[in-house]
Structure 1
Amino acid sequence: MAKKRASSGGIFKKFIITLVVLIILGLGGTLVFYYLRYFGPQVTGNHEYLYIRTGSDFNDVYKTIRDEDIVRDTVTFAWAAHQMKYTNHVKPGRYRLHEGMSNRKFIRMLQLGEQEPVDLSFHVFRTKAQFAGFVSKKLEADSLTLLRYLDSNTFVNQFGLNTDNAFVMIMPDSYKMNWDISPEKFYKRMYKHYENFWTPERKQQAAAINLTIPQVSILASIVDAEAVYDDEMPTIAGLYLNRLRKGMKLESDPTVIFAMNDFTIHRVLNKYLSVNSPYNTYVHTGLPPGPVMMPSVAAVKAVLNYQKNDYLYMVAKEDFSNRHNFATNVAQHNINAAKFRKALTEHKIMK
């Protein structure tokens, strides 16, 4: 009888031990299961960024992640996303991916909208369309939408500008901004930078030369188009200010090229000078209605700090050094111009 009890007790003890072991193994398996789903490495190294467009829902995000092999196991990602309640909190943006990121870290980043800003750096562009095309390759907004804002009087009027001169508020520099920034916020950011540049001192300098702030930038665009070297900019600015004060036409070749919308022209022929456009300063006195290119900061500063000289004429040097011969009178200018025309002909530059 005692042996039977001992035997029964041993069996029960073994049963309990086995049950405990099974529970531990079950819990361990469950922990491993949850660990792998939440904390295990999931993000692949196939892409540097995940782009989520404005208006996307979770299905769009899941499709992108699946189609581009962003994670090793899309089923696990979807399960974790539902558990973390991300599916109803999708935020657009440009998200930096790190190989081996866990679902938890990856989804948490998306959930909080912790995107990596875009470094947007640019120099000068000839036209608004070129600028819009460049920006559209860096940000979510497409070029047509970006251009449409600059061509909307309703939009640019809030900055005291119009569609002719709105381009002056875009200043070449380096910016950091989110990839999904709206066109409206983008231009407000550009205008803020422009507004900060125009300190009270610079506004006084503009008033001293009898130009509005947009007019300074318009003249700067002409100076920029004429000058290859920054050290010539103040001289050229002084020359054009002399002509403006005397009521002379600016007669600037870059304005003709802009009016013709043909930036392949290297030789401005007489037949081009009568092109019918408000930008043609051979026809119209004063400044054109808008910039002929995006002016650089150096050119704007050159206008504000122009060289006081007596020059009224300029022409490119005949040695093709991209510098200019300056003159105070027509006679000397004609001599300089003849030298340059001869050099163009000798080099067979006819257009």
Structure 2
Amino acid sequence: MHKSQCAQEIIIGLTVFLVTFMNVYLSRYQRLTSEISVQAERAILYLPESGQISDLITDLYEQGIHFDKNELLWAANLLNWKSYRAGRYEINGSYSYNRFLSKLGRGEQDPFLVRVQAGQNHDSFTLRTSLQFRFSQEELDAAMKDSSMLRQHNIEEHHLLGRMLPNSYEMYWTATPQQFLARMLREFDTAVTRPYGERAAELGISIDEAVILASIIEWEVRHVDEKRKVSGLYWNRLNRRMRLQADPTVAHAIGERRRLLFADYRVDHPYNTYRIFGLPPGPINNPRLTSITAALYPEQHNYIYMVASGDGSGYHVFTTNYADHRRESRRWTNWLREQRRIRDLEAQQEQTTGTNSR
């Protein structure tokens, strides 16, 4: 009787153990495969370096990703997803532990839109671009000056910036500077070199020369509908072997974007088109496609002078002779003086009002 009772107790104990084990196993398995184990709403993880999941817990919490720490570590060990790869990851919605951990473990990054702005000089371009990627401004700057890269793409350093066509591009955050530049050059060839190469040849210029002229138009012109007219003016001056006398090239030469002084026009610089004939050696910024097409398809007219319109519209007044140009220039100068007088008067009134209120 005693032996029978002991055997019965052993069986009951084993049964309880097995049932408990199965319940725990099934519960863990259910949580392991549950699609609500990890949850987040539009969280973005930037992981500069690869590492261990166990070292990532705090960062995950700080990004608003919800999960059970012990379960996540248990799942990482069980599924052998103990490490993660560097990258940019978008976590949005609900995930099972396996889907979440494998995403990080395999390095299944989410691409993002890189925004390349128009009209940037070299320093502005490298800074604004690097802020969107893992690489630094210094690394991008070095890549743009790398002789082997330039030879590979058959381009001179001073022409490279002009080929950084403004647009939005889908890329990966961990792309290297070399990968980024190679992609940008492919995009330029697709959008400009192939479709417009023949047109440039018809005009007797290279694509790079078209981009140089486009970069001046980009800086000079605020309104798209005026670009071809300005292009026509520059072409008229080039065809008559006149100096371009484009103010943007002077601003580029002195390294400042401000109202120019008489002394600025006399600066000895290879980009100062008040001193040199023809186009400057390279582009002064990265122009939009609309500026490039304007350079290649100039409006036909006889204008050789222009000055900003004295109405604050951002347009220009075009003339065919110097006497008319002088007259329009005086109107522009008078408008500037009037604007300055109005600003000074408003500042004085504000100061008087502030004094009286005390």
Give the Cα–Cα distance (whole angstroms) in 2 for the partners of residues 36 and 288 of structure 1: 66
Partner of 1:270: 262
What does residue range 244-323 of structure 1 map to in structure 2 within 5 Å?
244-263=238-257, 265=258, 267-323=259-315
User: Which of 175-184 and 15-24 deviates more?
Assistant: 15-24
Q: Distance in 1 between matches of 2:230 and 2:35?
A: 65
The answer to which of 138-147 and 232-241 deviates more is 138-147
Aligned twin of 1:33:
28
Unaligned 5+ runs, structure 2: 342-358
Alignment pair present for 1:218 and 2:212: yes
2:340 is aligned with 1:348: yes
Shift of 1:71: 5.4
Contact 1:43 1:97 in 2 (8 A): no
The answer (yes or no) to whether the contact 1:38–1:80 under 8 Å persists in 2 is no
CA contact (8 A) 1:65 1:71 kept: no
Which residue of structure 2 aligns with residue 20 of structure 1? Answer: 15
C-alpha offsets along residues 238-262 of structure 1, whole Å, 9 cap, x if unaligned? 1111111222111001111111111
Q: 1:92 to 1:213 in 2, by over 3 A?
A: same
Instruction: Flag structure 1 segments of 5+ consecutive residues without an equivalent.
Output: none
- Cα gap change, 1:11 to 1:149, in 2 (>3 Å): closer
TM-score by length of 2: 0.86
Corresponding residue for residue 202 of structure 1: 196
Q: What is the distance in 2 between the residues matched to 1:40 and 1:228?
A: 52
8 Å CA contact 1:165, 1:214 repeated in 2: yes
Is the Cα contact below 8 Å between 1:39 and 1:104 reproduced in 2?
no
Q: Is the Cα contact below 8 Å between 1:258 and 1:279 reproduced in 2?
A: yes
Change (3 A) 1:200 1:16: closer
The residue that corresponds to 2:170 in the other structure is 176
Quote the Cα distance in structure 1 between the aligned partners of 2:168 and 2:340: 40
TM-score, scaled relative to structure 1: 0.87
**Match for 1:163 among 152, 157, 168?**
157
Aligned residue in 2 for 1:191: 185
The CA distance in 2 between the partners of 1:191 and 1:65, in whole Å, is 40
Number of residues paired by the alignment? Answer: 339
What are the superposed Cα offsets for residues 6-51 of structure 1, whole Å, 9 maximum, x if unpaired? x976875575355323311222113323443564744353871222
Residue pairs, 1:323-334, within 5 angstroms: 323-334=315-326
Superposed CA RMSD:
2.6
Q: Distance in 2 between matches of 1:249 and 1:97?
A: 57
More strand by proportion, 1 or 2?
Answer: 2
Q: Secondary structure at the match of 2:38?
A: coil
Deviating more after overlay: 31-40 vs 229-238: 31-40
CA distance in 2, matches of 1:96, 1:200: 36
User: Are residues 167 and 72 of structure 1, via their aligned partners in 2, closer, same or farther at CA, if it must alter by over 3 Å?
Assistant: same
2:72 counterpart residue number = 77
| Percent identity over paired residues | 29
Secondary structure of the equivalent of 1:348?
A: helix
The offset of 1:339, in angstroms, is 1.6
Q: Distance in 2 between matches of 1:250 and 1:166?
A: 23
Aligned-pair distance for 1:75? Answer: 4.2
